[in-house]
Amino acid sequence: MRRIDNDAIRAAGEVRFRSEYDYAIFEYARSSKVIQSVERSGVKLKGRVLDAGCGSGGTALSIAEEVAFAVGLDLSPRFSDSGTKLAREKRIKNVAFTQGDGLKLPYASESFDVVLSHSVIEHLPSAETYIAECARVLKKGGRFYLSTAPTLSLAGAHLPRLKVPVPIHLFLGRKLAFRVFVFLAAKAPWMLKEQSSANTFVKLAESGREKEDDLLTPVTLRGMSRWISRSPFRLISEQRYVTGFFKRLTPPFLRPFLLEIPVVGDVMVSQIECVLEKP
């Protein structure tokens, strides 16, 4: 299991929105955490692996260093000047990138041994179609690692952070909170914790543009369970990671009950991690 370099991740994260190449470097540095989470969940990275929503391509490159062949797919060709460049620099040859739709994967059935999806499903208009497509391209007995966060959590809201840590999306609703952050990015960026190199809201505002909301499907704990139950997959494991704040606030014996309460559980959980197997 590769070593996690938190200093490198932090440094890359602070400038990740400077360019797609910088974001690929950040993904490559952060991938050690993703790979560790995948291996901790019991999924063995081997054979042909698909990163189904690869972004700038950094994670797919890191995976390629662990397996026979890795493929990164994204709807936008963000990887064209980032992942491919980084691959050349690191002399990684067992990787390929594809521009394509996660709802209609451009691969033959049973093409991959493992499919990974990290913080992707919320950006697609149909979670169930996406999961079904990932099942189609997996070989029988193949594993699907699916990780995301509830939309009501700070991680899952995909919104900037205020310097004063107030989760305004819980009070205003996400749509209105999104508009508030667009306004602050343009008129009062000093109120935001991250500046342009780590914040797309501010980066776009500096060039006279507005951030478009790319969160298309709200994620909830119950919704995730429903999507999986309707899919071709068999659930192997599911982990729900509670934020540090709620770990400190709630006694351990009470948390399982709170997580089953709609909305309450969605606010408490910072990450949902599922391992699915194709029968």
| Same domain, yes or no: 33 and 126 | yes
| Same domain, yes or no: 29 and 82 | yes
| Same domain, yes or no: 74 and 197 | no
| Same domain, yes or no: 119 and 16 | yes
151-165 confidence digits (pLDDT tens): 999 999 999 999 988
Tell me the pTM: 0.92
4-50 confidence digits (pLDDT tens): 888 888 898 888 888 889 999 999 999 988 888 888 888 899 999 99
Indicate whether 81 pLDDT > 90: no
| Same domain, yes or no: 137 and 238 | yes
Q: Residue 76's CB: how many other CB atoms inside 10 A?
A: 11
Contacts 24+ apart (CB under 8 A), 174-183: 174/215, 175/213, 178/213, 181/211, 182/210, 182/211
The domain spanning residue 91 has which CATH number? 3.40.50.150
Split into its structural domains, the chain has a count of: 2
Helix pair 6-13, 20-40: axis angle to 10 deg: 140
Q: Is 111 exposed, middle or buried (0-12, 13-18, 19+ CB in 10 A)?
A: middle
Residue 1 in any domain: the answer is: no
Q: What is the mean pLDDT of the chain?
A: 93
168-181 confidence digits (pLDDT tens): 999 999 999 999 99
C-alpha distances in angstroms, 130 versus 92, 104, 122, 136, 199? 28, 8, 11, 10, 28
| Same domain, yes or no: 109 and 170 | no
Residue 194 in any domain: the answer is: yes
Distance CA 272, CA 167 (A): 20
| Residue 88 lies in domain | 6-151+216-277
58-67 confidence digits (pLDDT tens): 999 999 999 9
Per-residue DSSP letter, 194: S
| Same domain, yes or no: 47 and 177 | no
| Same domain, yes or no: 70 and 117 | yes
Distance CA 63, CA 74 (A): 16
